[in-house]
Amino acid sequence: MAFIEDYKAHTLEREALGVPPLPLNAEQAVALVEMIKAGEGDMAQNVNLLTNCVSPGVDDAAYVKAAFLNDVASEKISVASIAPENAVSMMGMMLGGYNVKPMVDALASKNPKVVDAAKEALKHTLLVYDAFNDVEELHRAGNAHATEVITSWANAEWFTHKPALADKITVTVFKVPGETNTDDLSPASEAFTRSDIPLHANSMLVAKMADPINTIKKLKEKGNPIAYVGDVVGTGSSRKSGVNSVQWHIGEDIPGVPNKRTGGVVLGGIIAPIFFATCEDSGALPLELDVTQMESGDVITIYPYKGEAYKEGKCIATFKLNPNTITDEVRAGGRIPLIIGRGLTAKARGLLGLGASDAFLTAEQPADTGKGYTLAQKMVGRACGMAGVRPGMYVEPVTSTVGSQDTTGPMTRDEVVELAALGFSADLVMQSFCHTAAYPKPSDVVMHHTLPDFISKRSGVALRPGDGVIHSWLNRMVLPDTVGTGADSHTRFPIGISFPGGSGIVAFAAVTGSMPLTMPESVLVRFSGELQPGITLRDLVNAIPHQAIKEGHLTVAKKDKKNIFNGRILEIEGLPNMKCEQAFELSDASAERSAAACTVLLNEEPVIEYLKSNVVLLEAMIQAGYEDKRTLQRRIDKMNEWLASPSLMKPDADAEYAAIIEIDLNKITEPILACPNDPDDVATLSEVLASERPTKIDEVFVGSCMTNIGHYRALGEVLRGEGAVPTRLWVCPPTKMDEKQLIEEGYYAIFGGSGARTEIPGCSLCMGNQARVADGAVVFSTSTRNFDNRLGKGAQVYLGSAELAAVCAMLGYLPTKEEYLNIVPKKIGGKEDKIYKYLNFNLIKNYKL
């Protein structure tokens, strides 16, 4: 009874926070099972706890639950409160994993009620994996019950028994005007609670509007489901946790799956592509349409098949279902279960000698134009066993490299558990700890000790706290011309191509080795000319939106916003001899353009140099005890195989693009920076100074995935001999390898002399979840994005190069063009080869981590 008393106390504590109790852990599940066996306490309550408060899949508590229910179902034990057939039905709610074998075994039970329950449960279980073979063996041996299950799978009864998306949906509007980024929906400051969906959802929009949670509660009193509505929805990263928060407030409970919801309607004038896809994965219905005539409290009626939305009997917006299969996705409970279920149906039909099922909508595929393919289209094509993939084509490419970072890692872990997976099929899965290593909360410390083992036991590669930024490591594990994904939106490989996604799609890609993709269009950015003195790669990053604004492809204003890059692939040409570390500056920033992915066309020489270095790093990881050794060795072998016969894809000359933007390097003669607080609001230094924007700089941050060792050397050279700076200067190298080299070269002595605050390698201020700038500070940062309140409450943040950051730190204000050009070229002139020299581990004798 002690368990019940403790659980009641825990429930009251959670009620005070406005959230349900946490799912039971394994120890609690054992105590609960013993109470049920002994007939102690309120049996109805106990059975409900066992049914609905234990996470499904391969959670440790699920193991306890499945083992107990199997004993009841097989009649090894008898309990008054659970009949054998009811035990099977309860296992049927556990999605997959430890429950599957007991249900398959039950098909051969002598108890007809148990057999009937097992059939019904298995018919609607999708995560059967290799247990399909066990059902097949029973079928071939003449077990009619197994044949009935396989026939049900073949007929897609798991899908057809679910209600179709309604013809008419009436909702009450909850509108958040302007742009909602995922920091608003899932604040970085509360990142440590993301895997606790109900608790994290309490923080949704708290920095954006007054009392959002109670506002939603009051709107629910109208009796309709709530639709989340915004002009621009879901820009930024942490998209899965943002969708989780939205669904917690507007979605529906999932029987047998505690503290998680599905469904819900999301309406946006623009919905960021990855947020849109994450809604699809999670069973929500995202629709892009005109929302200008919708206000909070309005009751609107949506006719999804007609593509119309009505208010007070008047059609106020029209739309097109996109993709055309989205109604199937919603019906199945999300795109991921739909993909898994379709695969199960196809496998069953193949066994029975049946043709393709007609139960599902077929993805609309574009006509073949006969034109050539872009670089991205060729890369994805190869991953699909095709010459190329046209924009609009639905495919499921092999996903060779998958990245997971620590603020989403616990959610990815939970998704892997729900997928009932005890191993990864993707060739390489890597987990980092770059967002929480510097200032870990107690929950982070627990994660640091438990998540690596979870990842490595499934053949993944787990980094260590303090190693550094996920991208600076994952990029070194990528194979040329391959496809990958990651839960951090800046998973943008400098070689190959990656399509970032929420933690759900990352878990799916890790487990299955493929990912769903509707191929986007591409926008080509072509550079020409010569880089001018004092101009950096970061200036070229900002030159892309700057030129797009000039040509009318991009607007800063959110109302009727134009963004040619949104949801498209950004393909960059004209800088073929860049080092791969430099190429990542360009690909990384495609996230700020809201692009779906990015490619950079490079010559073979920099890629050869990069892979030779990376082979030695991965070998050093094995020697240093990183796991999984077999996965690291397999990737080393594939790199060496490529190096033995190097070859890179190139776009066809007649490839088609949604737009082509030409940028002449000769015309870029001063720094270009992003202004507070919008990464699209870019301007030259002179344009900024001619405006009314603030010019006094309080704090400077040099760090984030946008940096490499060359930036820190440049910072040091500008600061050399200048003494203490008048600003608060933060320095945070991306990896421990960069830190070690900078210390050996004496740059940390310069940073110390300037009064800089040096942080352990990782994300630091860029994430904004731990260390923060002063409230209301004006900041110059080399980080990736500058949304409101990300780096600090009320902070106004400029984004630009490390070289300009150094000058700002030294002067305490934004320099004029002339001041900048009088300082930087003189400070670094003649030293460029030494400053912008990258870490080639293969050139370091006997290199060790």
3-state helix, strand, coil in the chain (%, to 5): 40, 15, 40
The whole-angstrom separation of Cα 78 and Cα 71 is 8
> Shortest CA distance to 396 belongs to which of 424, 416, 426?
426
Q: What is the pLDDT of residues 439-464, one digit of tens each?
A: 998 999 999 999 999 999 999 999 99
Average pLDDT over residues 754-764: 94
Q: Are strands 299-303 and 169-181 parallel, antiparallel or unpaired?
A: antiparallel
CA distances from 756 to 51, 725, 781 (A): 55, 8, 14
Structure tokens belonging to residue 533: 């003195």
Q: Nearest Cα to 337, choosing from 280, 385, 377?
A: 280
Residue 517 has pLDDT above 90, yes or no: yes
The pTM assigned to this predicted structure is 0.91
Q: What is the DSSP letter of 301?
A: E
Q: What is the pLDDT of residue 235?
A: 86
pLDDT value at 469 more than 80:
yes
Indicate if the pLDDT at residue 244 is higher than 90.
Answer: yes
User: How high is the mean pLDDT of the chain?
Assistant: 95
Chain segment 67-85, per-residue pLDDT in tens: 999 999 999 999 999 999 9
Long-range interactions of 814-818: CB distance < 8 A, separation 24+? 814/685, 814/688, 814/689, 814/695, 814/697, 814/780, 815/685, 816/685, 816/686, 816/689, 817/669, 817/670, 817/671, 817/684, 817/685, 817/686
141-158 mean pLDDT: 98
> Does the structure show a pLDDT above 80 at 170?
yes
What proportion of the chain, given as a percentage, has pLDDT over 70?
A: 100
> What is the C-alpha radius of gyration for the chain, rounded to an integer number of angstroms?
28
Mind listing the pLDDT tens digit for each residue in 528-580? 999 999 999 999 999 999 999 999 999 998 888 899 999 999 999 999 999 99
Instruction: Report the pLDDT averaged over residues 517-525.
Output: 96
Above 80 in pLDDT, residue 768?
no
Residue range 472-484: mean pLDDT, rounded: 98
- Residue 510 to residues 381, 404, 453, 513, 614: CA-CA distances in angstroms? 20, 10, 16, 6, 22
- Whether the per-residue pLDDT at 659 is higher than 70: the answer is yes
Residues 274 and 485: their CA atoms lie apart, in Å, by 11
pLDDT of residue 788: 86
Residue 664: how many other CB atoms lie within 10 Å: 14
Q: Above pLDDT 90, what percent of the chain?
A: 91
Q: Let me know: does 786 contact 677? Beta carbons within 8 Å.
A: yes
Following DSSP, what letter does each residue of 139-152 receive, concatenated? HHTT-HHHHHHHHH
- Orientation of helix 273-281 relative to helix 335-351, angle to 10°: 50
790-835 pLDDT, tens digit each: 889 999 999 999 999 999 999 999 999 999 999 999 999 899 999 9
Task: Give pLDDT, residue 146.
Answer: 97
Which of the four pLDDT bands, split at 50, 70 and 90, describes residue 785? confident
CA distances from 362 to 326, 349, 825 (A): 11, 17, 58
Q: Per-residue pLDDT for 767 more than 90? A: no
pLDDT category, 329, cuts 50, 70, 90? very high
User: How many beta carbons lie within 10 A of that of residue 140, not counting itself?
Assistant: 11
Read off the pLDDT of residues 676-702 as tens digits, 9 standing for 90 and up: 999 999 999 999 999 999 999 999 999
Burial of 134 (0-12, 13-18, 19+ CB in 10 A): middle
**Cα–Cα distance, 712 to 691 (Å, whole number):** 30
Tell me the mean pLDDT in the region 102-128: 97
Which pLDDT score is estimated for 1? 62
Instruction: Tell me the pLDDT tens digit for each residue of 207-238.
Output: 899 999 999 999 999 999 999 999 999 987 66
Helices (H), 74-225: 84-91, 100-106, 112-123, 131-140, 144-154, 157-160, 182-185, 197-201, 212-220
**What is the pLDDT, as a whole number, of residue 238?**
61
User: Which amino acid, 765?
Assistant: L
Cα 281 to Cα 644: distance, rounded to the nearest angstrom: 40
Q: How far is CA 500 from the centre of its chain?
A: 5
Would you say residue 4 has pLDDT above 90?
Answer: no
- pLDDT value at position 510? 97
Taking CA atoms, 582 is separated from 579, 632, 684, 707, in Å, by: 5, 25, 21, 9
